[in-house]
Amino acid sequence: MADNETYREGLEELADHYRRILQLMGEDPTREGLLKTPMRVAKAMQFLTQGYEQDAHEVLRGALFKENYSQMVIVKDIDFFSLCEHHMLPFYGKAHVAYIPNGYITGLSKIARVVDIYSHRLQVQERMTLQIKECIEQTLRPLGVMVVVEARHMCMQMRGVEKQNSITTTSEFSGAFNQAKTRQEFMNLLHDHL
């Protein structure tokens, strides 16, 4: 959301809460450097959680095309940023999505939009992976879907165990991807470089 865009209801109230949070942390929200911070954070939080206002199924349905193609379609290296629901700290990485059409395909950019919608909510990586898979499965009715998400979690890097180089990988699959051979084909294609 750019500054000229409209924001969701509750923006002022959200800013008031951040003003109070600054006070509770021992800061002075009236000092020059923090004067506009509560509103900036409120706007940022509305942007980072805009996925609650969007319907991922509708995005896919809006670009559904009848096509007699039944081989694997892969959209890989989809960058995403999300907020961990446990600490509200960022986690970020790449999502890789494959599906095998069953009479219908969707616009390739719509797969990335589905990832954006689910990542722009308070999340855990495991649920986000499942939600992406289920959305594609329920909307396109393909022969199979597989989603792999690789992410770095700031809650592990900035606090707690403070492990800077750890990456968490999650996967969900259904249909034709229940066969080890099909999953392996996806993984091989995922790691091939063009």
Which residues are known catalytic residues? Answer: 84-87, 125, 153, 155
Exposure of 183 in the CB half-sphere (CA atoms within 13 A): 12
Cβ(125)–Cβ(156) under 8 Å?
no
Cβ(54)–Cβ(61) under 8 Å?
no
Give the integer Cα–Cα distance in Å for 18 and 70: 51
Classify residue 76 as exposed, middle or buried by CB count within 10 Å of its CB (0-12, 13-18, 19+).
Answer: middle
Give the integer Cα–Cα distance in Å for 63 and 110: 7
The strand pairing partners of 146, in sequence order, are 98, 173
Helix 125-140 to helix 108-119 angle (10° resolution) is 140
